[in-house]
Chains A and B, each alone.
Chain A
Amino acid sequence: AQKITQTQPGMFVQEKEAVTLDCTYDTSDPSYGLFWYKQPSSGEMIFLIYQGSYDQQNATEGRYSLNFQKARKSANLVISASQLGDSAMYFCAMIRGFTGGGNKLTFGTGTQLKVEL
């Protein structure tokens, strides 16, 4: 079974500063994918970034980067130059590396990020 753990229920960061949101995972699958989604108060889950378990380099997408440490089973999200619009709930999620059937996402409990002036 797969499990995602997000230990920070809430985080505060000042505008223009960088912030790291923690995520650890547990799986016995050799191949898997890790995702981060942003959920504003409106409710929609917005895809931010993806990291494959066999990817050699850490994923980056604009101001988002994923600090992937496979041996530690961690996949932390780093947001650089925070903006007020980054205030939202952030979810880490995992998928199996399996092409034979459906790939349901397993989510953590999320981290509520608030960006302050």
Chain B
Amino acid sequence: DTGVSQDPRHKITKRGQNVTFRCDPISEHNRLYWYRQTLGQGPEFLTYFQNEAQLEKSRLLSDRFSAERPKGSFSTLEIQRTEQGDSAMYLCASSLAPQGAGETQYFGPGTRLLVL
């Protein structure tokens, strides 16, 4: 069983460009989460999917951010018109739910984004 994978691992882009990240969860996991982690901080929740439905979005997720999980398997996170403040590590996690307080999320290696 492979773990969560993310692609690309690193992305450098110029301000104003669009970027798209991909996450492949653990195969039997029905929930998929996106988090953002800036330097010196813990990850912060962005959004999550149960199967193909996007059920919650953080207020951190501005209109420039969009996420999809079209067939309930892999997910993409797109950032339009990137800004320097978008520079961060974007982490994807998956879990098997519902398990209440025992829901363990397994993370991928992350995508480091640098906006110049």
Residue positions of A touching B, CB distance < 8 A: 4, 31-33, 35, 37, 42-47, 50, 52-54, 91, 93, 95-110
Contacts and interface: CB of A to CB of B under 8 A. Distances in A.
Interface in B78-99: 89, 91, 93, 95, 97-99
B65 interface: no
Interface of B: 31, 33, 35, 40-45, 48, 50, 55-56, 58, 89, 91, 93, 95, 97-110, 112
B56 A101 contact: yes
Contacts of A91: 42-43
Contacts of A100: 98
20 contacts: A31-B101, A33-B100, A37-B107, A43-B109, A44-B107, A44-B109, A44-B110, A45-B93, A45-B107, A47-B106, A98-B101, A101-B56, A102-B55, A103-B103, A104-B48, A105-B33, A105-B45, A106-B45, A109-B42, A110-B41
A47 B91 CA distance: 14
A31 B100 contact: yes
Contacts of B101: 31-33, 52-54, 95-98
Contacts of A101: 55-56
B33 A104 contact: yes
B28 to A, nearest CB: 16
A109 B40 contact: yes
Contacts of B31: 102
Nearest to A105: B105
Contacts of A105: 33, 35, 43, 45, 93, 105
A72 B102 CA distance: 21
Contacts of A43: 89, 91, 109-110, 112
A42 B109 contact: yes
Given A104-B45, A105-B43, A109-B41, A98 B100 contact: yes
Contacts of B41: 109-110
A86 to B, nearest CB: 18
Contact of B98 (A52, A99, A110): A99
